[in-house]
Amino acid sequence: MNIILKPEVERLVKEKVARGEYDTADDFVDEAVRRLIDEEQEDDADRAEIRADIDAAEAEIDRGDYVEYDENTIHELARDVHERGLKRLAAERKEPGVRG
């Protein structure tokens, strides 16, 4: 396969080879393509994980496993989160080096 690079990309590849970072331009391009493919596969895995989380959340909603808040009860949630945070901080201070 022959590939034509834009002049600025070709210059960058040649610089990397000249500095000894890669033995050849082919090695550089091969690694770049492999990294791109790996990144795409990681993105696909991340999307699959997010989709699974969404599906699980939707199933919880369908089962009625959720709490609904309004402008009055949201303050209770904020107070509860604050209290749990204070308890967690107090526990961490009692046990140095332990993080949750």
**Closest alpha carbon to 25 in 43, 6, 10:** 10
The torsion defined by the Cα of 8, 9, 15 and 16, in degrees rounded to 10, comes to: 160
- With bands split at pLDDT 50, 70 and 90, how would you rate the model's confidence at 100? low
* pLDDT average, residue stretch 4-24: 96
User: Which pLDDT belongs to residue 99?
Assistant: 59
The domain limits of the chain are 1-65, 67-100
Distance between CA atoms of residues 75 and 81, nearest Å = 10
